[in-house]
Amino acid sequence: MNLLFGLSPFLAVGVGALLLMLAEAFGKPNVAPGVETTDAGAGRAGELALGAAVILVIGAVLSVAVWVAGPESLPELTQVAPHLVIDKFTLFFSFTLCVGGALAALLAGGYLPEHGIDRSEFFPLLLLSTVGAMALSAAGDLLTLFVALETMSLGVYSLIGLRRGSPRAAEAALKYFLLGSFAAAIMLFGLALLYGATGHTDLAGIGAAVRSIGSPGSTVSAGKILISLVLVLVGLAFKVSAVPFHQWTPDAYEGAPTPAATYMAVAVKSAAFAVLLRVLLVGFGDERLASWGAGWPPALAVLAVLSMTVANLVAGRQESVKRMLAYSSIAHAGYALVGVVAAMRSPEAVSAVAFYLLAYTVSTAGAFGALILCGSRGAEAVSYEDLAGVGKRHPAAALAFSLFLFSLAGLPPTAGFFGKLYVFRTAIDSGLYTLAILGLVNSVIGAYYYLRVMVYLYMREPAPGAPRAVTMRSGFVATALVAAAIFVLLLGMAPGFTLDMASGAALTAR
Amino acid sequence: MGLTGYLLLAAALFSLGVFGVVTRRNAIGVLASVELMANAVNLNLVAFSRHHAGPTGQVFALFSIALTVAEVVVGLALVLLLFRAKGDVRIELASELKD
Amino acid sequence: MQSWIPVLVYLAIASSVGVVMLGAARVLRVRARHVPPTRAATYECGEEPAGKAWIRFHPRYYLVALVFVLFDVETVFLAPWALATRALGGYAVVEMVVFVAVLLLGWVYAWRKGALRWQ
């Protein structure tokens, strides 16, 4: 019984996904009389979105419940270890992933019908992909890691391609797919080498084997370990979209339906960071590899600096707000990587990254949601010009947009402020002064393009004669925005409770 | 033949795959090259499994085969989607220079 | 190097079979003075071939093939399971029932969504 309780977040979302699949396939299509359809899911985005959101909220609540009960008090959970490691780290991330998935589902409930994308497969796919993401955050074994990564990614590839008949969407999906499976193959090569070098597939066993290098009688080859480390890092850097493995990001976000882009930005990135932390700290946690002189910290520091700087410089030059948000998500990957580098010295850095990703999830989902609200059928809000004057036409959407942009820029009193504060503070505590200062400078540069959106929202009028984007009304999108706004303000004004939860997560990651 | 021979063969196949991904312009060609890379890894896994005298690597290879097929199915579906939308399956993976 | 000799012998025999057969056909063939067009045509089960061999297939073939491949490859899990069931006991049977049930669910989904319909 305890085992079932411990696994309940995963079971709820997994079984829920299968049930939603059946509900989609066996329901009655909701189409205008006289219209022939062979698709049982036609016209039912609303109810399925609600179902998906409810299932994911149940998953989030169960994650909290298991967290409160304490996974360490459930000895039965060792039966599924190391394939699934259910600890506070996993539960914190599965909470974040469920929240991000639920927000994306709600956004899709409003967005898909509005833009005539009658693809109800979106919701079962979203849930199945979330199961993969949750399993990824729990993966303590290379096999689970790979299976979970593919489960998550295959769902996302399909989500991007759901806009039928659009060459742009099809090309974005195919490009992301080809680069994604290329990165997955590179990573798989790394995983195979890791198994070959150590004889273990569980991360704990690999960690022990790596520590034994240099001691008498050890047959583990340091060269193979280093090569596999590089290959695994390349694969995961692609998933978190760190520069220089980011090229797919703007194209994929632009071509994808906005809720799918939201899901990619929040859930895929968070899950990839979770597995990155676990692989680095448990598998490559050896002092010689996790040091400033050698191993992964300097490599990740380079990725962090490149991601922050390049993304911020390019984001300011974008004309499309969706592309700007894509580059913003790359920059945020850079900030979070600063925390990952700091994790080599301080366990608190892990909780700082976990908190940062929760704050980033609600802020980004909110920003994409507000962007959805600014457009309507046939005239999706894409460019800055489309947003001109929205402050007058739809004050609520503009206000929500501003709040989420404040949070992304890292201004108080929002979630993003505390997220950045904790990440940079752990970096300073670990003696990474240069990295922390570069992060701060970049946050200031980043504020420029977030504020530019606000300038257009409130201080510009649409050019006379220009086609203006008509704002849309949707209960689903509004619900998602209210929920995200509550999170952003709650984490921004009373972060203590969530931070306590996150710091519980840190202790068990190592 | 020892472990090294298998590893060299796998590395060669893997490099051929990487070369294909980088040079191919046809989406199906890129997909086939990625498959070559995945199969090189499977060869590695089975060779390592024999080296370590345990079934783990073979189990890993079986999972990898199944997942790779799932990947191909999704990939071909996307190729089909692109073909229906555009009438062409050529793609430019490095077209990001515009910004 | 010693262990490679059987492989080399095998390769030599295998390739010589092809060479000998093709060579014998060339030596022994009867040359016809006049080749009727029906004899030069592609043999297609006695039917007269229509059109070119390089045609574009209907995308529906791909859809059916994709669904087939997806379910076909799951046997990589069934075969090792069948060999190990006796050793693993009842738990393994339950697990495989769950696995196949999920797979069947996917099949029912494909069927309901019209992926198997030919129109």
For chain C, give every domain's residue range: 2-112
| Closest CA of chain A from C83, distance in Å | 21
* Nearest CB neighbour to C70, from listed B70, B80, B84: B70
Does any CB of chain A come closer than 8 Å to the CB of residue C114?
yes
In a domain, B91, yes or no: no
Find the residue in A nearest to C110 (Cα).
Answer: A25
Q: Do B76 and C74 touch (CB under 8 A)?
A: no
Per the prediction, chain A carries an average pLDDT of 90
| CATH number of the domain enclosing B71 | 1.10.287.3510
Q: For residue A7, what are its two tokens?
A: 């696994």
**Burial (Cβ within 10 Å: 0-12, 13-18, ≥19) of residue A343:** buried
List Cβ neighbours of A60 (8 Å cut-off, separation of 6 or more).
A9, A94, A95, A98, A99, A102
Give the residue numbers in B contacting C (CB under 8 Å), as ranges: 1, 59, 62, 65-66, 69-70, 72-73, 76-77, 80, 83-84
Q: How many domains does chain B have?
A: 1
In a domain, B92, yes or no: no
A241-289: per-residue pLDDT in tens?
Answer: 998 999 899 999 998 999 999 999 999 999 999 999 999 999 998 888 8
* Nearest CB neighbour to B77, from listed C66, C73, C77: C66
Element (H, E) at A224: helix A222-239
Confidence of residue A465 (pLDDT cuts 50, 70, 90): low
Cβ atoms A401, A368 nearer than 8 A: no
In a domain, A32, yes or no: no
* Nearest CB neighbour to C73, from listed B1, B66, B80: B66
- Topology classification of domain C2-112: Methane Monooxygenase Hydroxylase; Chain G, domain 1 (1.20.58)
Domain span at B40:
3-86
In a domain, A184, yes or no: yes
Q: What are phi and psi of A383, to 5 degrees?
A: -95, 170
Q: What are phi and psi of A70, to 5 degrees?
A: 90, 105
C36-72: per-residue pLDDT in tens?
Answer: 777 777 777 777 777 777 777 777 788 888 888 888 8
Q: How far is residue A128's CA from residue A289's CA, in Å, rounded to a whole number?
A: 35
Q: How far is residue A125's CA from residue A49's CA, in Å, rounded to a whole number?
A: 12
Find the residue in A nearest to C116 (Cα).
Answer: A38
Q: Mean pLDDT throughout C91-119?
A: 88
Q: Do B78 and A173 touch (CB under 8 A)?
A: yes
Confidence of residue A15 (pLDDT cuts 50, 70, 90): very high
Which residues in chain B have their CB less than 8 angstroms from residue C63's CB?
80
Whether A507 shows a pLDDT value over 60: the answer reads no
Neighbour subunits, C (≥3 Cβ pairs < 8 A): A, B
Q: Do A25 and C108 touch (CB under 8 A)?
A: yes
Which residues in chain B have their CB less than 8 angstroms from residue C62's CB?
76, 80
Mutation site for A-interface testing, chosen from B28, B80, B81, B91 by largest number of A Cβ within 10 Å: B81
Mutation site for B-interface testing, chosen from C57, C58, C64, C69 by largest number of B Cβ within 10 Å: C69
What SS3 class is residue A429? helix
| Closest CA of chain A from C1, distance in Å | 26
Q: Which of A339-343, A461-465, B7-11, C4-8 is predicted least confidently?
A: A461-465
Domain span at A87:
2-27+41-504
Q: How many domains does chain A have?
A: 1
Neighbour subunits, B (≥3 Cβ pairs < 8 A): A, C
Is this complex scored with an ipTM above 0.90? yes
A38-51: per-residue pLDDT in tens?
Answer: 777 788 889 999 99
Quick count: other Cβ atoms within 10 Å of Cβ A58?
17
In a domain, A386, yes or no: yes
The pLDDT value recorded for residue C73 is 86
